[in-house]
Amino acid sequence: MDTIEKIKQQIEENPILLYMKGSPKLPNCGFSAQATQALMSCGEQFAYVDILQNPDIRAELPKYADWPTFPQLWVDGELVGGCDIIMEMAQQGELQTLIKESAAKRADESPAE
C-alpha cells in the first residue's frame, strides 16, 4: 500500500482524525497541543497519527490535502483545517457541534444489540 492509499484509509476509517506532531498526551509542538486541547474539550474520542513517527505521511499529506501545515483535523472524510481554524471554531462553539454531530452519526450507524 502506498502512502496516499494509507492516508485515504486512515481518513475513511477514523471519523475524527488529527494528524499531529507527537501524541495527545505528549504533543511535540504548541499548535498540536492547542488542537488536542480543543478536541479533548469536546468530550468525544478521536484518532490521531503522529507524523513525526510517520515521515512518509508527513511528506505526502500536505500534497494530498492541499494544506501545508500540521496539525490537520479531518472530520467525516473532510479536512477541517489546522490549529488556527480549530481554535477559532472552538471559540465560536462550531467545533463542539461538528464533533458531536460526527460522534452521533457513529452512534446511529452502530448495530443494535
Q: Is 74 helix (H, G, I), strand (E, B) or coil?
A: strand
Per the document, the length of the chain is 113
Q: 28 forms bridges with which residues in the sheet?
A: none
Q: Are strands 72-75 and 16-20 parallel, antiparallel or unpaired?
A: antiparallel
Alpha-carbon gap, residue 48 to 57, rounded angstroms: 12
Ligand-binding annotation for 84, yes or no, is yes
Ligand-binding annotation for 42, yes or no, is no
Ligand-binding annotation for 46, yes or no, is no
Render 36-53 in DSSP notation, one character per residue: HHHHHTTTS--EEEETTT
Ligand-binding annotation for 106, yes or no, is no
For 66, list phi and psi in degrees, rounded to 5: 55, 40
Binding residues for [2Fe-2S] cluster, by number, are 29
Binding residue positions for glutathione? 21, 58, 70, 83-84
In the annotated binding site, the residues are: 21, 29, 58, 70, 83-84
